[in-house]
Structure 1
């Protein structure tokens, strides 16, 4: 079974520890290094707050197209930018071949 990590600012991620997930409060300056360490440590799912993910586009791009790790953006306390929802929507469209949110 793969481990699950959550990265972001402390206020956005501390509640995930109650769910049994490993939390890693980081600043944008240290986030890239921490991301690569989590991948090396065998984390299969890495949740990243949307604000932090915006700073890590080059770092997360290294893992696009790979099965693991699954890097998933989540909203933080600073709000939802919508990029997490767009990413999930894109992945679902690729998997099923159509826009599941499109309705007539």
Structure 2
């Protein structure tokens, strides 16, 4: 069975532990990279991470753009939504169907 992890700052991830998800509060870019590499090498099917953290890990996340598992899903952090998550959904739809059906053609 696959596990689910949540990565981000302490305030953003602590509530997910009550849902039974594995939470990883990271305090530095170096720690974030180390934890991300560990999670992608373990038995995680889904890795949620805050949008702010996604920006810092983008070059590592790109390695998983065309693989089935783990699914790497950005979520808003405690500081709010940066819009990065919806941009990724838009890119995924464009890649899947060949056109921007969500927002219209830019």
Q: Does the pair score TM above 0.5?
A: yes
For structure 2, which runs of at least 5 residues remain unmatched after alignment? Answer: none
Paired position in structure 1 for 2:42? 41
**3-state secondary structure, aligned to 1:78:** coil
Task: Provide the rounded CA distance (Å) in 1 between the counterparts of 2:17 and 2:101.
Answer: 32
**3-state secondary structure, aligned to 1:89:** helix
Paired residues in the alignment total 103
Divergent runs of 4+, >6 A: none
What TM-score, normalized to structure 1? 0.86
Paired position in structure 1 for 2:4? 4
CA RMSD for the aligned pairs? 1.6
For structure 1, which runs of at least 5 residues remain unmatched after alignment? Answer: none
What TM-score, normalized to structure 2? 0.85
Matches within 5 A, 1:18-97: 18-27=18-27, 28-97=29-98
Deviation by residue 1:21-71 (Cα, 9 ceiling, x = unmatched): 110001222011111101111111101101111111111122221111111
